[in-house]
Amino acid sequence: MVSKLIIKQSFSFQRYDLNVNKTISFREVHFDRDVKLLHSWMNEKHVVPYWQLDLSLSDYSLHLQNFLKCEHQTLLIGEIDGVPISYWESYWVKGDLIKNYYEFDEYDQGVHLLIGEKDYLGIGLIYPLLMTILSQKFQVSQTEKVIAEPDVRNEKMIHVFKKCGFTPIKEVELPDKTGLLMFCERSTFERRWTDWQQNKF
């Protein structure tokens, strides 16, 4: 059984990325501070088709409160130079619905993400953000695989995952979407991380 200590590991951290000359940071979501920001992101046109959380503020508030109570996941805000631009759900597969769709390992982890701020779309900052959170996930020595399951229609996000070391495995019929199950193995990520550090990405 995965212990609560591992399940609720902290993901508040930052690092300076020389490739983009910006500080990449993650902090945990706090309801009072972040609910209105996240609600606004969930209602952006580029987010709605894939997240389907374009709810009223009161309904989204209930959703967020419920998600913050889930012990198998940690909700995060990703920032660039201190500006919040992205939302992340970092989770343990063992406690998530996706565990029913493949033979998971005890310490497999997963991630959902979105860029909420329109001004930060399409300028390449998703790569340092995703590479940074993957490097943090693989700090857990027992974790050999990080998974993702983006909507099969979301070609841009699938491209991002591939570039960061994820391999498509199969399509899966989830309650809210047809997802593309993707694996990022530790060995593959380590090669990608080296390339990223050497600006050969």
What does R_g of the chain's alpha carbons equal in angstroms?
16
Active site amino acids? 149
Beta bridge pairs of residue 73: 91
Q: What is the dihedral of CA 39, 44, 24, 180, to 10 degrees?
A: 100
Chain centroid, CA 181 distance in Å: 14
Residue 17 to residue 177: CA distance in whole angstroms: 34
Q: Which of 189, 199, 198 is nearest to 139 (CA)?
A: 189
